[in-house]
Amino acid sequence: MLTYTLLRVALFAAVWLALELLTPVYGLWAIVAAILMSGAISIVVLDRPRGQVGAAAAGFFGRINARIEASARAEDVDDEPPADPTAAPTA
């Protein structure tokens, strides 16, 4: 996750710096354009790291969901059947 985030920030910084130095776009407009352009570029360039982050997150949340379901199943199981008050005592 950290690697993907750092790659995303580095891509934004590179695009922003290129806009500031090579075009007449400055300030807030350069930031907005860099956000849009780096977002479009990251769809293609950062596809593999994004897939790895998605798989890791799916595994993490899948394990959490499995523990929740196991806990819910354990709560549903009764240890002893309820006593029948009308049943005759056995000797």
CB 46 within 8 A of CB 12: no
Is pLDDT of 72 > 90? no
**This prediction's pTM:** 0.59
- C-alpha 16/C-alpha 26 separation (Å) is 9
pLDDT at residue 39, as a whole number: 92
Domain positions in the chain are 2-69
pLDDT digits (tens, 9 = 90+) for 3-57: 888 999 999 999 999 999 988 988 899 999 999 999 999 989 888 888 888 888 8
CB 33 within 8 A of CB 20: no
Exposure on the CB side of residue 32, measured as CA atoms within 13 A:
5
